Amino acid sequence: MRACRRQPVERVPVWFMRQAGRSLPEYRALRGSGSILEAIAQPELVAELTLQPVRRYGADAAILFSDIVVPAAAIGVGVDVRPGTGPVVEHPVRSRSDLARLRPFEPDVDAPWVGDAVSILARELAVPLIGFAGGPFTVASYLVEGGPSRTFARVRALMHGEPELWFTLLDRLADMAVASLRSQLDAGASAAQLFDSWAGVLPPHHYERLVLPATTRILAELARSHPGVPTILFGVGTGELLSLMATSGTQVVGVDWRVPLDVARQRVGPDVAVQGNLDPALCTATIDVALAEARDVLTRAGDAPGHVFNLGHGVLPETDPAVLEAVVEVVHAEGRAGVVDPTRPAAAANRPGGRAPGVAT
Ligand code: CP3
């Protein structure tokens, strides 16, 4: 939480997007084969799946086990999350009459299990819980395309061809994100991440005009209801968007692996923290490769406060958890961004009876 606010820290914090999931044997054992949306409706199961990676990795934050399409599914838009594919929308949202299916999302009524899971986790976790919602472009892309897309042609044709319909759609999706994030924060989440994962497909002048206003509104409404709560805005392939994302009102900008973190820091400026950005693909290589790259990320993050270590995107299912365990040890032992006293084995204070791994005493 301090790193998000660009305050001094005892050690550089680390968590991983998609830290829960198929790379973990304990996840595969517990999750079973049903739809992920059914799993998400079981608070005890969600709590356990959220806790698994925190226990294994000693991560400094938990991310709620959920999905960006949960609110849309909960109001009956007709979304299924297919294994190996992702969200699929049977009747895509492409016309004004389709908008009628996007009624307001009431978390306590439509998806009370999310708040129940967050409450359990707020009691059980010793580290902050990050709540999340899908960013407006990314959720719109699934609803308009009807599923994952390589070109995003339909959604981009719509945003330019029918701007009025587009802005109405984004407005509804922004309201949905605000309602969802507020209820997660009310139930005990400590921070909020907005996953606008696919926004990087847009050029900056279109992102600025057609997406950023909705994102800015989401963050402003959160700041009003939950002043000071750390927010993280993330997308993939956003090198050309980083400086715009930094103007959204977010405290932290998530950076993918394509932009070196020292360059990313320049692009977002001194008033925003960065999160990232180890290449997830390199975590499927040898431990030596992953650690060399992790050290490069730490070096590029520099000494100034405001770095939350993460991957540049989610953990790939084929990742060996032992690699991520080693990455966490190196980040805790060697990370310097905002660390109060770099000569002190800072991690020792947080490990019962232990000293920081890899730190000479
Ligand atoms: O550990 C965590 O990060 C928390 C859980 C989480 C999931 N989805 C669980 C999940 C989070 C934060 C998400 C967000 C999400 N969902 C995003 C944004 C993050 C990103 O990756 O950019 C997006 C784009 C989605 C949509 C989605 N849901 C996709 C693309 C997939 C993968 C489909 C596949 O099988 O390859 C899903 C399914 C999904 N969501 C899984 C998990 C663990 C895997 C499938 C399963 O176990 O059923």
Angle between helices 43-57 and 321-334 (to 10 degrees): 60
pLDDT band at 95 (very low <50, low <70, confident <90, very high): very high
Q: Which residue lies with its CA nearest to atom 20 of ligand 1? A: 197
User: What pLDDT shows up at residue 33?
Assistant: 85
pLDDT band at 344 (very low <50, low <70, confident <90, very high): low
Question: Above 60 in pLDDT, residue 355?
Answer: no
If one compares 2 and 355, the residue with the highest pLDDT of the two is 2
- C-alpha distances (whole Å) from 312 to each of 18, 173, 218, 261, 304 are 11, 25, 23, 10, 20
Contact 211, 249 (CB under 8 A): no
Q: Which residue lies with its CA nearest to atom 22 of ligand 1? A: 197
Which atom of ligand 1 is least distant from the CA of 27? 47
Question: Above 80 in pLDDT, residue 136?
Answer: yes
Contact 2, 8 (CB under 8 A): yes
d(CA 17, CA 215): 20
Residue from 97, 100, 96, 80 nearest 88 by CA = 80
Mean pLDDT over the full length of the chain? 94
pLDDT in tens, 173-192: 999 999 999 999 999 999 99
pLDDT in tens, 138-151: 999 999 999 999 99
User: What pLDDT shows up at residue 332?
Assistant: 98
Pocket test for ligand 1, best of 18, 137, 236 (most atoms within 8 A of CB): 18
pLDDT in tens, 246-274: 999 999 999 999 999 999 999 999 999 99
Domains parsed from the chain with CATH numbers: 25-354 (3.20.20.210)
Give percent of the chain with pLDDT exceeding 90. Answer: 93
d(CA 117, CA 41): 9
Residues with CB under 6 A from ligand 1: 17-22, 31, 36, 63, 65-68, 81, 83-87, 132, 138, 195, 197, 314
- Catalytic option among 57, 94, 110, 142: 142
pLDDT in tens, 4-43: 999 999 999 999 999 999 999 999 999 988 899 999 999 9
The DSSP line for 197-264 is: TTGGGS-HHHHHHHTHHHHHHHHHHHHHHSTT--EEEE-SS-TTTHHHHTTSS-SEEE--TTS-HHHH
d(CA 61, CA 170): 30
User: What pLDDT shows up at residue 345?
Assistant: 56
Question: Above 50 in pLDDT, residue 354?
Answer: no
- C-alpha distances (whole Å) from 339 to each of 20, 99, 180, 347 are 27, 49, 33, 11
Q: Which residue lies with its CA nearest to atom 33 of ligand 1? A: 86
Question: Above 80 in pLDDT, residue 359?
Answer: no
Residue 155 structure tokens: 């959604």
d(CA 291, CA 278): 10
265 is catalytic: no
User: What pLDDT shows up at residue 32?
Assistant: 84
Going by the DSSP 8-state scheme, the letter that residue 316 receives in this structure is: P
User: What pLDDT shows up at residue 164?
Assistant: 98
User: What pLDDT shows up at residue 318?
Assistant: 97
User: What pLDDT shows up at residue 249?
Assistant: 98
Residue 62 structure tokens: 């938990």
Beta pairing class for 191-195 and 129-134: parallel
pLDDT band at 358 (very low <50, low <70, confident <90, very high): very low
In this structure, what are the phi and psi dihedrals at residue 260, rounded to the nearest 5 degrees?
A: -55, 145
Q: How far apart are the first and last CA of the chain?
A: 27
